[in-house]
Chain A
Amino acid sequence: MKTNTRPKNRKPAPKNQGAKKIFRFDVEKIRKDFPILREKVHGKRLVYLDNAATTQKPLEVIQSLDRYYREYNSNIHRGLHLLSEKATAAYESARVKAQKFLNASDAREIIFTRGTTEGINLVAQTWGRKNLGADDEIIISAMEHHSNIVPWQMLCGEKGAKLKVIPINDAGELVMEELKKLFTAKTKLLALTHVSNALGTVNPIGEIIQYAHARGVKVLVDGAQAVSHLPVDVLALDCDFYVFSGHKIYGPTGIGILYGKYKLLEEMPPYQGGGDMIASVTFEKTLFKKPPQKFEAGTPHIAGVIGLGAALDYVGEIGWGAIAAHEHDLLVYGTEKLKALPGLQLIGTAGQKAGVLSFTLGEIHPHDIGTILDRQGVAIRAGHHCAQPVMDRFGIPATARASFSLYNTRAEIDALVKAIRKVQEVFS
């Protein structure tokens, strides 16, 4: 059994630990990769704890965008010139990176989108419109982000279908017995988040996907909050669709991934019509390309795709073992420190959690907490986190939420605690 007491300059960890370059996780070294962490806000050192909203970008990602625009900016899949060939190669190599990242069996199962929201809407508007009829049912959960509620609600409205909701318990976990009761012969799809953005809960999606598949129900997993915290293996999970956003995993905004099983993608109608998704066009008839191009109409966010590829490389170099251990330490440390504060109540205390600490502070409104923390350099999110039904479930209007990433430190959690004490002083 290896321990983390390995000397610094000792060579490679065993392959199965997932670490390639950095064998001993050094958070100070990681922090140097992120230029923004040297910024000051209101004259204070930035303590960035709003990672569930968006993560910061390492230099490799920033430089990959810069390099594309400086050295080989060009449109893809069209030009017969060198720059276009280079851009196309970089774009398609990012697709392969995403395929490997998700352990998909085929790069053609990777579709570039604007983000998680567009990925879900794409599935709703193509697979959903084709396969859903009146009185059919879609199951979601009570902990979904609005982006995994509203597209289904719109689809159900159009088709006369029903939306059913898996309840959650006081800890913020899915009530599994209730989940099972919701499936009927009419159930067509389960759309479920992998990790809750408002509560941090990690759902047992493997087990749930098996259960759904045994009943002939397709499963879409919202991975927006999961991908930066834990390894995802779509083959092992056997999910039908998996969606995430690049900007929540150190990549640029405006770019995301939709994974779909190839057979399903083949059967789905196109999402948008336009350039790059057609095989031939006449005024009488248009033939579409095969996936993934069928779903990528128009000039895509080429720089964003390249930047996302760089971000996935970055995560791969650090390795899941190291990231998971560090983030787990932050979660345990942060949970203990926050729990010790009088009057603070954690919202979301699931047995399996990612690095999210949502809390309330007695009568003090989360927006007041957010403002006072901000003036001390501590950036958190305050509000309903685009999950109003979660707030309703707990009978609160909003929470304050600190969310961690691989570059956060215990010292930053101490700064958070100190700042919360200031809030309590102001309102004492």
Chain B
Amino acid sequence: MSEYSDLYQDLILDHQKNPRNFGEMEGANHHADGFNPLCGDKISLSLRTDEKGVIQDIRFKGSGCAISKASASMMTVALKGKKSEEAEKLFHQFHDMVMGTGDAKPPVDLGKLKVFAGVKEYPARVKCASLAWHTMEAALHQENAVISTDDGVEP
């Protein structure tokens, strides 16, 4: 065990190396691009929901650090088959967990996503872990949204 193993856990490293649901998607009805200008992380997220709002498929593309990539990969796994309201609820729980603003013990609903609990000890990396989630939320709410962890304003 080493001093950073609370962050770089095997599950995170596995998803970083072999990201799930990675690549293009046909027939998406929600899409958003997320960008973290601080480190250049980019994610392009596509979702297909049915008439009941259930996420039938979700895929991502992009480049970034291990934390942002693993977070995106594990998010897609967690959200497939969930209703959009459930996805939003998970987003808030996840956000509270990585910010350290929620309960000391993360909610059981988060399941494997609890592996990111260690992120709260690394304030500089919170944006990496939450980029995919913010992008997902934007995709569900707007068409072809582009979000940034820092707002860029055209002059």
Contacts and interface: CB of A to CB of B under 8 A. Distances in A.
Interface of A: 42, 154, 157, 364-368, 371-372, 375-376, 382-384, 391, 397-398, 422, 426-427
A382 to B, nearest CB: 7
A391 to B, nearest CB: 7
Contacts of A154: 155
Interface of B: 2-4, 7-8, 13, 38-42, 63-67, 122, 124-125, 128, 155
B40 A375 contact: no
A367 B8 contact: no
B40 A398 contact: yes
Contact of A371 (B2, B13, B124, B155): B124
A427 B13 contact: yes
A371 B4 contact: yes
Nearest to A382: B39
Contacts of B41: 397
A365 to B, nearest CB: 4
Nearest to B66: A368
A226 B100 CA distance: 41
B63 A397 contact: yes
A383 B38 contact: yes
Chain B residues touching A, majority SS: loop
A118 B155 CA distance: 20
Contact of B65 (A157, A365, A384, A426): A365
A232 to B, nearest CB: 32
A391 B40 CA distance: 10
Contacts of B38: 383
Contacts of B128: 367
Contact of A426 (B13, B64, B125, B155): B13
Given A367-B67, A368-B8, A397-B41, 8 more contacts: A42-B3, A154-B155, A371-B7, A371-B122, A384-B40, A397-B42, A397-B63, A426-B8
Contact of A375 (B3, B39, B63, B64): B3
Nearest to A154: B155
A89 B42 CA distance: 53
Nearest to A369: B65
B65 A367 contact: yes
23 contacts: A365-B65, A365-B66, A366-B39, A367-B39, A367-B125, A368-B8, A368-B66, A368-B67, A371-B7, A371-B124, A371-B125, A375-B3, A375-B4, A382-B39, A383-B40, A384-B40, A391-B40, A397-B39, A397-B42, A422-B2, A426-B2, A426-B4, A427-B13
A368 B63 CA distance: 13
Contacts of A157: 155
Nearest to B3: A375
A375 B63 CA distance: 24
Given A384-B40, A398-B39, A365 B4 contact: no
